[in-house]
Structure 1
Amino acid sequence: MNYVEYIRGYVKDNPIILNGVSVLIFNEKNKILLQRRTYPKKNWGLPGGLMEMGESMEETGAREVFEETGLEVKELKLMNVYSGKELYMHLPNNHKFYLVNAVYYTKKYKGTLQVDNIEGSELKFFSLNELPEYMVVSHKRFIKDYMELENR
């Protein structure tokens, strides 16, 4: 049983706080990897997900990236931690939570892209100035913040 299922057994559908990770992965052309997500339906977003008990944030990021993309990431660098009412989620299954999300970036990875077909239907590298129109709103913010950080 995963942590979310475990805690939901106690709190049911009441709001909780969950920890998550998103990872910005850049290829040699400085293009960013995005995943066409299952939820929010058909929106593009970053690989990542929720922390399991006993994991570090870096381990969560590496595990989630591997599960969703088939890539093994190395040298994750912490960009920022995001939290607050902007990261409130109300899922179709009526689960509600506030996300505390650590965002990492890396250019170091190995492996071959493999779509998991559970959390996403497509993986693609995009130029930072040609991002898709339909994206997870918070992920757009993370990418924008990264671009500002790189331009300092």
Structure 2
Amino acid sequence: MSVAPNHKPVTPLLTVDIVIEMIDRPGRPIVLIERKYPPPGWALPGGFVDVGETLEAAAVREAKEETSLHVRLTSLLGNYSDPARDARGHTASAVYIAEASGQPVAADDAQHLEVFVPDDVPVLAFDHAKIIADYLAFRQTGRPAPLRQDAP
């Protein structure tokens, strides 16, 4: 473990991402945001966990901040921690599946949002294409994301 000069451990930043299913629409399409800040592109709603906040509370908060939706978390899809998943630095993300209804509105870090059929999404930022692939497999099998043990 690395230790900074202030004697605090240097660890990955903790994040959450949320696959929001719109349960009031046919086929349960999902919400994607177009990022306002670098790195640009389409992404799942999500962000950094605040100190003193649970992962679940962070997921609900980030969903509300970026989409204006009140979500109900239904499942933990998986954890994603590839050191290269975010060009800004090493992050580890807990990814949740959530349900919502109503009209999503882009806010906070989202400059725009759209609702997409999950198997027809645009090119995504970060490792979100892998997350969507795992989500589609989850919808078919009911099993969470596979454990990836291909670490160096």
TM-score, length-normalised on structure 2?
0.76
Instruction: Map 1:1-152 onto structure 2 (within 5 A).
Output: 16-28=11-23, 29=26, 30-38=28-36, 39-41=38-40, 43-90=41-88, 97-107=89-99, 109-110=100-101, 112-116=103-107, 118-132=108-122, 134-152=123-141
3-state SS, counterpart of residue 128 of structure 2? helix
Shift of residue 22, structure 1, vs aligned partner: 0.2
Shift of residue 129, structure 1, vs aligned partner: 2.3
Provide the C-alpha distance between the structure 2 equivalents of 1:53 and 1:105, rounded to a whole number of angstroms.
22
Provide the C-alpha distance between the structure 2 equivalents of 1:65 and 1:78, rounded to a whole number of angstroms.
15
Identity of paired residues, percent? 28
Q: How many residues align?
A: 130
Report if the CA contact (8 A) 2:16-2:58 is conserved.
yes
Report if the CA contact (8 A) 1:89-1:99 is conserved.
no
Q: Which has the higher contact order (CA 8 A, sep 6+)?
A: 1
Gaps of 5+ in 2: 1-5, 142-152
Gaps of 5+ in 1: 1-9, 91-96
Q: Which amino acid aligns with 2:54?
A: S
TM-score, length-normalised on structure 1?
0.76
The structure whose residues are more often helix, as a share, is 1
Q: Which amino acid aligns with 1:113?
A: P
Q: Deviations over 1:4-52 (max 9, x none)?
A: xxxxxx79xxx751000000011132211000112322x1111000000
Report if the CA contact (8 A) 2:60-2:73 is conserved.
no
Shift of residue 110, structure 1, vs aligned partner: 4.7
